Amino acid sequence: MQQSIPHPGQLRHMIEIGRTVNAIKENGYPEETDETVCRVWAAVEDDSSRRTRKAFVGQAETAERGLCFAIRWRGDIQPGMWVLWRGEKQTITKLGEFDFKRRYLKLSTVLAKGVGG
Protein backbone atom coordinates (compact mmCIF):
# COMPACT_ATOMS: atom_id res chain seq x y z
CA MET A 1 0.00 0.00 0.00
CA GLN A 2 1.47 3.33 -1.08
CA GLN A 3 1.47 6.05 1.57
CA SER A 4 0.87 9.56 0.38
CA ILE A 5 3.51 12.15 1.13
CA PRO A 6 2.18 14.77 3.56
CA HIS A 7 1.46 18.20 2.18
CA PRO A 8 3.48 20.93 3.94
CA GLY A 9 0.20 22.53 5.06
CA GLN A 10 -0.62 19.39 7.07
CA LEU A 11 2.40 19.97 9.33
CA ARG A 12 0.43 22.22 11.66
CA HIS A 13 0.91 20.61 15.08
CA MET A 14 3.90 21.62 17.21
CA ILE A 15 5.40 18.57 18.93
CA GLU A 16 8.40 18.05 21.15
CA ILE A 17 10.68 15.05 20.64
CA GLY A 18 13.04 13.94 23.37
CA ARG A 19 14.65 11.10 25.24
CA THR A 20 14.93 9.99 28.84
CA VAL A 21 18.50 9.84 30.14
CA ASN A 22 19.87 8.47 33.39
CA ALA A 23 22.03 10.98 35.23
CA ILE A 24 24.03 10.06 38.32
CA LYS A 25 23.26 12.21 41.37
CA GLU A 26 25.81 13.24 44.01
CA ASN A 27 24.86 10.27 46.19
CA GLY A 28 25.59 7.82 43.34
CA TYR A 29 22.00 6.88 42.53
CA PRO A 30 20.68 7.25 38.98
CA GLU A 31 17.96 9.77 38.26
CA GLU A 32 15.85 9.76 35.10
CA THR A 33 15.60 13.14 33.41
CA ASP A 34 13.87 14.13 30.20
CA GLU A 35 16.02 15.79 27.57
CA THR A 36 14.40 17.61 24.64
CA VAL A 37 16.01 16.84 21.27
CA CYS A 38 13.88 19.13 19.09
CA ARG A 39 10.58 20.93 18.62
CA VAL A 40 9.12 20.44 15.12
CA TRP A 41 5.91 20.86 13.15
CA ALA A 42 4.11 17.60 12.44
CA ALA A 43 1.07 16.07 10.79
CA VAL A 44 -0.85 13.80 13.18
CA GLU A 45 -2.88 10.73 12.22
CA ASP A 46 -4.79 8.29 14.41
CA ASP A 47 -3.39 4.77 14.24
CA SER A 48 -5.68 3.12 16.80
CA SER A 49 -6.63 0.26 14.52
CA ARG A 50 -3.13 -1.18 14.84
CA ARG A 51 -3.00 -4.42 16.81
CA THR A 52 -0.13 -5.53 18.97
CA ARG A 53 0.62 -8.83 20.62
CA LYS A 54 1.17 -9.21 24.33
CA ALA A 55 4.49 -10.71 25.33
CA PHE A 56 2.83 -13.29 27.55
CA VAL A 57 1.86 -16.67 26.16
CA GLY A 58 -1.85 -17.38 25.97
CA GLN A 59 -3.06 -13.78 25.97
CA ALA A 60 -5.08 -12.43 23.08
CA GLU A 61 -4.15 -9.51 20.86
CA THR A 62 -5.13 -6.12 22.24
CA ALA A 63 -5.63 -2.80 20.53
CA GLU A 64 -3.43 0.03 21.74
CA ARG A 65 -4.05 3.70 21.20
CA GLY A 66 -1.42 4.78 18.75
CA LEU A 67 -0.67 7.91 16.76
CA CYS A 68 1.45 8.46 13.68
CA PHE A 69 3.38 11.70 13.32
CA ALA A 70 4.86 12.86 10.02
CA ILE A 71 7.73 15.32 10.33
CA ARG A 72 10.40 16.67 8.01
CA TRP A 73 13.38 14.29 7.82
CA ARG A 74 15.76 14.22 10.78
CA GLY A 75 18.54 11.70 11.23
CA ASP A 76 18.75 11.97 15.02
CA ILE A 77 15.36 10.39 15.85
CA GLN A 78 15.36 6.79 17.14
CA PRO A 79 12.80 4.29 18.44
CA GLY A 80 12.49 4.51 22.21
CA MET A 81 12.42 8.30 22.24
CA TRP A 82 9.20 10.10 23.15
CA VAL A 83 6.89 12.64 21.54
CA LEU A 84 5.05 15.20 23.67
CA TRP A 85 1.83 16.39 22.03
CA ARG A 86 -1.13 18.05 23.79
CA GLY A 87 0.31 17.14 27.17
CA GLU A 88 0.50 13.39 26.40
CA LYS A 89 3.80 11.57 26.13
CA GLN A 90 3.91 9.01 23.33
CA THR A 91 6.74 6.48 22.95
CA ILE A 92 8.17 6.06 19.45
CA THR A 93 7.97 2.40 18.46
CA LYS A 94 8.82 2.48 14.77
CA LEU A 95 10.27 4.83 12.16
CA GLY A 96 9.29 4.85 8.50
CA GLU A 97 9.94 6.76 5.31
CA PHE A 98 7.44 7.98 2.75
CA ASP A 99 9.90 7.71 -0.15
CA PHE A 100 13.58 7.13 -0.77
CA LYS A 101 14.40 10.85 -0.92
CA ARG A 102 14.33 11.33 2.87
CA ARG A 103 11.99 14.30 2.82
CA TYR A 104 9.59 13.15 5.55
CA LEU A 105 9.84 10.77 8.49
CA LYS A 106 6.92 8.78 9.93
CA LEU A 107 6.93 8.17 13.69
CA SER A 108 4.64 5.37 14.90
CA THR A 109 3.89 5.80 18.60
CA VAL A 110 1.94 4.33 21.51
CA LEU A 111 0.84 6.07 24.69
CA ALA A 112 3.65 5.96 27.25
CA LYS A 113 2.77 4.02 30.38
CA GLY A 114 3.53 5.74 33.65
CA VAL A 115 4.34 4.06 36.94
CA GLY A 116 1.44 4.18 39.36
CA GLY A 117 2.00 5.03 42.98
Does residue 25 fall inside a structural domain?
A: yes
The stretches of 34-95 forming alpha helices (DSSP H) are: none
Q: What CATH number does residue 72 fall under?
A: 2.40.10.270
**pLDDT 10s digits, 81-114:** 999 999 999 999 999 988 888 899 999 999 887 6
Q: Considering its fold, how many domains does the chain have in total? A: 1
Distance from CA of residue 77 to its chain's centroid? 9
The pLDDT of residue 83 is 96
Does residue 1 fall inside a structural domain?
A: no
Give the global pTM: 0.77
The dihedrals phi and psi of 34, each to the nearest 5 degrees, come to -90, 135
Does residue 117 fall inside a structural domain?
A: no
Share of the chain above pLDDT 90, in %: 52
Does residue 92 fall inside a structural domain?
A: yes
**pLDDT 10s digits, 50-90:** 444 444 444 444 456 789 999 999 999 999 999 999 999 99
Distance from CA of residue 55 to its chain's centroid? 20
Cβ–Cβ < 8 Å for 68, 6: no
The pLDDT of residue 57 is 46
